[in-house]
Amino acid sequence: MTMVLWIAGFGALGAWAYLLSARGGFWRADQLLTPQSARSHWPSVAAVIPARNESSVIGRVIGAHMAMNYPGSYHVFLVDDRSADGTSDIARAAAQSGGRALTITTSPPLQKGWTGKLWALNHGLGLVNEIMPEADYILFTDADILYEADTLKQIVAKAEDEALSLVSLMALLDARGFWGGLLIPAFIFFFQKLYPFAWINDPAHKTAGAAGG
């Protein structure tokens, strides 16, 4: 019995040693956007936002998109996935005071073989190709993510400076309340352990990952 305990103890110690020293330093949480570079030309961007019954947040979210501090052309496409709570009306009202274009469309009936969010994104992408075919970048984002004014500039600058095909950010998740404070940090920690962000950001490493939002 003593030998079994010793083996288990050394096994646990070895596992922790590996995680701390050879797992991409996931626990440091040091992968951040670098400061944006100065540029004379900013590419055009189209945002595609799928939304279903997001009346509680969509006004603030669309307002933030309308106020985005982005020097280039920026057009927001909201795909209402047949909401029953007035999501589209709230979004339309929120866009009145903004300086950006907002196009709202209703997602068609779900086709076999598709899931709801991806079907809405696909419909939105088709609309972008019709209305804004010259878009240099597509921003896929959720209807409950509130952007800071300079976020889009930082994302585009990252893509342009490093000639990237994909830039993905981890949003700051809502961890309010007892269960939020208990579960959300553990979820992020576990996600980084499975897919160390330093490895994802290393072109020479085979690990790939992106945040769904």
pLDDT tens-place string over residues 106-164: 999 999 999 999 999 999 999 999 999 999 999 999 999 999 999 999 999 999 999 99
**Cα distance between residue 190 and residue 90, in whole Å:** 36
CA-wise closest residue to 91 among 118, 56, 44: 56
Q: Which residues of 125-137 are buried (b: 16+ CB within 10 A; e: fewer)?
A: bebbeeebeebeb
Q: What is the pLDDT of residue 3?
A: 65
pLDDT tens for each residue of 44-66: 999 999 999 999 999 999 999 99
Angle 58-66/87-94 helices, nearest 10 degrees?
A: 30
The mean-pLDDT minimum among 28-42, 139-153, 178-192 falls in 28-42
CA-wise closest residue to 171 among 188, 193, 194: 188
Percent of the residues in the chain that have a pLDDT greater than 70, as a whole number: 95
